[in-house]
């Protein structure tokens, strides 16, 4: 009854039981932009009986001003997940190969399988950079890059992105879900490369994960094909209005809280290293902390009120991860009192393990 594609994957199953401090999904621990909340409160009930704008024209205009590109170079999606998934249908055919440097956002491998593509998983090198020779050797139709990368938090050098574009004929999907925390973006490369698509989201720095809004920036010809593969009416009217308000009125709110996240991330890194945990230097709003037996550790943390994301068997050749054979905790950075609670819980669990 089921397709071989869905039969081959698991349903996404995050632990959704309530927890006092949830540092597991990299969303904004300071909340949401006030202008977005105001718009949601004020949205007229009459607006809800109608379909939204098919491709979110007013949000494109707002994001054009924010990113500095033309509105015709922007596609909007139901979260950036929607656009990452649609890109696989727009720019590759069943059986084609997609190169995915790992470890990275695991949904990408799932989307590849759902779209009948063949993922070529290519380990990141010892400095968390992409092995461009291996990507070229895979002869991919598509390449997925993520910078800052989830779950390592590491940035890709701009030269790596350029080399992948120059040395392959592939469409390159660059996931910049955490760009606001790094202050770095390759969106300007879109003007030079008709094969680069940059995916962004309002789920992280903009604090709107529950509204499901993402966008992608690329050459207008690329964006057209992406919108065909995505389909119309993917973003609700309420989400679009709230997103427009956030992007036009509340950039100050977003930037101030991204800055707080960066400051607390560095403070947390110092505290973790003081505990002999060799956290990886991060450019995002989370830290990857190599810890033995991460799943057990995370279960014990959760039992005392703090959720983090556990990973095991993370691929790659980086020394920091080799020491625990790819076992690590990914910790979302939030307000400092939450970080203090996390550290206290971490110390309790570690003491109980010894």
Segment near ligand PLP (CB under 6 A); pick from 57-65, 79-87, 220-228, 242-250: 79-87
Nearer to ligand PLP, 316 or 345 (CB): 316
Q: Nearest approach, Cβ of 303 to ligand PLP (angstroms)? A: 26
**Is 305 in contact with 268 (CB distance < 8 Å)?**
no
Q: Nearest approach, Cβ of 37 to ligand PLP (angstroms)? A: 18
Q: Which of 28, 55, 63, 79 binds ligand PLP (CB under 6 A)?
A: 79
Q: Nearest approach, Cβ of 46 to ligand PLP (angstroms)? A: 29
Nearer to ligand PLP, 28 or 168 (CB): 28
Q: Which residue is at the shortest CB distance from ligand PLP? A: 79
Say how many residues touch ligand PLP, by CB under 6 A: 14
Q: Which of 114, 121, 189, 209 binds ligand PLP (CB under 6 A)?
A: 209
Q: Nearest approach, Cβ of 344 to ligand PLP (angstroms)? A: 27
Q: 214 to 273, contacts with ligand PLP by CB under 6 A?
A: 214
User: Distance (Å, rounded) from C-alpha 128 to C-alpha 5?
Assistant: 30
Q: Nearest approach, Cβ of 298 to ligand PLP (angstroms)? A: 18
Q: Which of 23, 33, 74, 81 binds ligand PLP (CB under 6 A)?
A: 81
With helix as H, strand as E and coil as C, how does the chain read? CCCHHHHCCCCCCCCCCCCCEECCCCCCCCCCCHHHHHHHHHCCHHHHHCCCCCCCHHHHHHHHHHHCCCHHHEEEECHHHHHHHHHHHHCCCCCCEEEEEECCCCHHHHHHHHCCCEEEEEECCCCCCCCHHHHHHCCCCEEEEECCCCCCCCCCCHHHHHHHHHHCCCEEEEECCCHHHHCCCCHHHHHCCCCEEEEEECCCCCCCHHHCCEEEECCHHHHHHHHHHHCCCCCCHHHHHHHHHHHHHCHHHHHHHHHHHHHHHHHHHHHHHHCCCCCCCCCCCEEEEECCCHHHHHHHHHHCCEECEEECCCCCCCHHHHCCCCCEEEEECCCHHHHHHHHHHHHHHHHHHC
Q: Rule CB under 6 A: is residue 80 a binding residue for ligand PLP?
A: yes
Residue 122's beta-bridge partner residues? 101
Q: Which of 59, 63, 142, 177 binds ligand PLP (CB under 6 A)?
A: 177
Q: Among residues 133, 109, 131, 106, which one has the least CA distance to residue 120?
A: 109
Q: Nearest approach, Cβ of 204 to ligand PLP (angstroms)? A: 6
- What do you get for the CA distance between the two ends of the chain, in Å? 50
Q: Rule CB under 6 A: is residue 146 a binding residue for ligand PLP?
A: yes
Q: Nearest approach, Cβ of 145 to ligand PLP (angstroms)? A: 10
Nearer to ligand PLP, 190 or 243 (CB): 243
Q: 189 to 208, contacts with ligand PLP by CB under 6 A?
A: 201, 203-204
Q: Among residues 66, 25, 317, 22, which one has the least CA distance to residue 179?
A: 66
- The mark string for 147-166 relative to ligand PLP (x by CB under 6 A, - otherwise) is ---x----------------
Q: Which of 105, 181, 297, 346 binds ligand PLP (CB under 6 A)?
A: 105
Q: Rule CB under 6 A: is residue 324 a binding residue for ligand PLP?
A: no
Segment near ligand PLP (CB under 6 A); pick from 60-68, 75-83, 124-132, 332-340: 75-83
- The mark string for 16-45 relative to ligand PLP (x by CB under 6 A, - otherwise) is ----------x-------------------
User: Distance (Å, rounded) from C-alpha 193 to C-alpha 163?
Assistant: 12
| Contact residues: ligand PLP, CB under 6 A | 26, 79-81, 105, 146, 150, 175, 177, 201, 203-204, 209, 214
């Amino acid at each position: 009854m089921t397709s071989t594609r869905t039969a081959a994957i698991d349903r996404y199953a995050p632990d959704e039981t309530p927890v006092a401090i949830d540092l597991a999904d990299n969303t904004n621990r300071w909340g949401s932009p006030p202008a977005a909340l105001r718009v949601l409160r004020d949205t007229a009930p009459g607006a809800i009986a109608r379909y939204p704008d098919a491709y979110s024209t007013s949000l494109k205009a707002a994001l054009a001003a924010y990113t500095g590109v033309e509105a015709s170079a922007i596609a909007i999606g139901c979260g950036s997940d929607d656009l990452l998934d649609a890109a696989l249908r727009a720019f590759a055919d069943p059986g084609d190969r997609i190169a995915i440097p790992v470890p990275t956002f695991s949904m990408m491998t799932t989307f590849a399988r759902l779209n009948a593509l063949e993922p070529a998983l290519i380990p990141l090198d010892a400095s968390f950079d992409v092995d461009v020779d291996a990507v070229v050797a895979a002869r991919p139709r598509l390449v997925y890059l993520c910078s800052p990368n989830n779950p390592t938090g590491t940035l890709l050098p701009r030269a790596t992105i350029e080399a992948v574009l120059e040395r392959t004929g592939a469409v390159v999907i660059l996931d910049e879900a955490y760009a606001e925390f790094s202050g770095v973006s390759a969106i300007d490369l879109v003007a030079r490369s008709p094969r680069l698509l940059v995916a962004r989201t309002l789920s992280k720095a903009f604090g709107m994960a529950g509204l499901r809004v993402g966008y992608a920036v690329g050459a207008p010809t690329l964006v057209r094909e992406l919108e065909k593969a995505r389909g119309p009416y993917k973003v609700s009217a309420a989400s679009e209005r709230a997103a427009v308000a956030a992007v036009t009125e509340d950039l100050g709110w977003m930037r101030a809280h991204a800055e707080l996240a960066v400051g607390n991330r560095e403070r947390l890194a110092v505290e973790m290293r003081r505990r002999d945990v060799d956290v990886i230097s991060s450019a995002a709003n989370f830290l990857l902390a190599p810890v033995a037996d991460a799943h057990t550790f995370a279960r014990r943390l959760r039992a005392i009120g703090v959720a983090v994301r556990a990973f095991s068997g993370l691929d790659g050749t980086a020394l920091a991860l080799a020491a625990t054979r790819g076992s690590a905790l990914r910790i979302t950075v939030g307000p400092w009192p939450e970080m203090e609670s996390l550290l206290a819980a971490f110390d309790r669990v570690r003491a109980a393990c010894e």
